[in-house]
Amino acid sequence: MKFFSFFKQELAIDLGTANTLIIQNGKIVVDEPSIVAIDRLTGETIAVGSKALQMHEKTHKNIETIKPLKDGVIADFQAAENMIKGMIDMINTRRHFFSHLKMVICIPSGITEVEKRAVFDSADHVDSKETFLIHEPMASALGIGLDVEAPIGNLIVDIGGGTTEIAVIALSGIVCAQSIRTAGNEFTEDIMSYMKTEHNLLIGEKTAELIKIHAGSAILNLDDPPEPYPINGRDLMTGIPKRVFVRYEETVGALDKSISKIETAVLRTLEDTPPELSSDIYKTGIYLSGGGALLRGLAQRLKDKTKLEVHIPDEPLLAVVRGTGLALANSDKFSFLISRKNY
């Protein structure tokens, strides 16, 4: 059996809007931005992941950078296939040596059958022999370390790049859930729009992302506020590049509308929760995961809004992929969590 397992490659993939992570043999082997650069003339892939991100918004007419996923689902099938293949190739240069590829891919809970089929088709085109799907909230709960099989309600809020997944999990299933397309990318767009209207400064996605990381906040009263963050952009009045220092208080106002949408979705999920599970959630609180969980003050803001304790794991960015990896490693035990290709 060990000899035949040598020819088998098993991968757990968190195919995210902003980042794609891959686990093999319990270790994270790929952690790259979900972006691909292609040659417009030949259609060939030039770069994948961080190398493609370095080219983003800096290309000439012969090179195009594409983010294949939008709002958590595949928007460009060919680019998605090229990206997945490129990232699998990063793992092992002897990829052709393996005869059997098995993959578990994480998907949003609100995905449609058409969108689900697109994921399966992309997996088929990279020669996956077995493809399984797992919903993000369930993967997140596994990655955090919750006992998903227990008759206890847990509320998961996973804020990714394209979607925010909110779900109540009990007895190995999702009892009620909300999937909204307001998440990290929306925060980035909010900051770009704010800089344009308030500072007359045009900035790109990468710069807005840096503002979010270094000066982003959900509340005004921070215990350890960050220093004003310097960024460069193009002055809309003169067209000349200039520098502006962004204070964290400014990002609170810029992000307020989007964060309010997440709060509303959390409250709506709590309203739909059966009373016995509500009793559990009062004791267990809310579990935050995903990149959005790293936004300063967000946990406190949700706590103030819901009057529930809010817990953030040590590495919220890795919760989903670790849960996907656990589902892969224990596919017999967690078979009830995973949907297999059925056509």
Residues 19-31: tens digit of each pLDDT: 999 999 889 999 9
Given a cut of 90, whether residue 151 has pLDDT beyond it is yes
- Is residue 274 one of the residues assigned to a domain? no
pLDDT at 326: 92
Q: Going by C-beta distance under 8 Å and a sequence separation of 6 or more, which residues neighbour residue 109?
A: 135, 136, 137, 165, 167, 174, 177, 179
For CA atoms 265, 72, 138, 217, give the dihedral sign.
negative
Taking residues 222-239, what's their average pLDDT? 95
pLDDT at 276: 96
pTM of the model: 0.90
- Is residue 64 one of the residues assigned to a domain? yes
Measuring CA to CA, which residue among 7, 77, 68, 2 is closest to residue 32?
Answer: 68
Sheet containing 241-246: which strands, arranged edge to edge? 201-202, 229-235, 241-246
pLDDT at 244: 96
pLDDT at 339: 66
Given a cut of 70, whether residue 99 has pLDDT beyond it is no
DSSP-assigned letter for residue 296: B
Task: Report d(CA 167, CA 141) in Å as an integer.
Answer: 10
Any idea what the CATH number is for the domain that residue 70 is in? 3.30.420.40
Given a cut of 50, whether residue 301 has pLDDT beyond it is yes
Task: Report d(CA 284, CA 170) in Å as an integer.
Answer: 12
Number of domains in the chain: 1
- Is residue 40 one of the residues assigned to a domain? yes
For CA atoms 283, 173, 262, 222, give the dihedral sign.
positive
Given a cut of 80, whether residue 332 has pLDDT beyond it is no
pLDDT at 36: 95
pLDDT at 342: 47
Measuring CA to CA, which residue among 6, 8, 16 is closest to residue 318?
Answer: 16
- Is residue 312 one of the residues assigned to a domain? no
- Is residue 304 one of the residues assigned to a domain? no
Count the neighbouring beta carbons within 10 Å of the beta carbon of residue 311. 16
Given a cut of 80, whether residue 337 has pLDDT beyond it is no
Look at the block and give the residue holding tokens 């998907």: 107
**What confidence tier does 331 reach under pLDDT thresholds 50, 70, 90?**
confident
Measuring CA to CA, which residue among 81, 181, 93 is closest to residue 121?
Answer: 81
Domain that holds residue 90: 2-138+320-340
Taking residues 129-148, what's their average pLDDT? 92
- Is residue 59 one of the residues assigned to a domain? yes
- Is residue 205 one of the residues assigned to a domain? no
- Is residue 245 one of the residues assigned to a domain? no
Pairing of strands 45-48, 164-170: unpaired
pLDDT at 292: 93
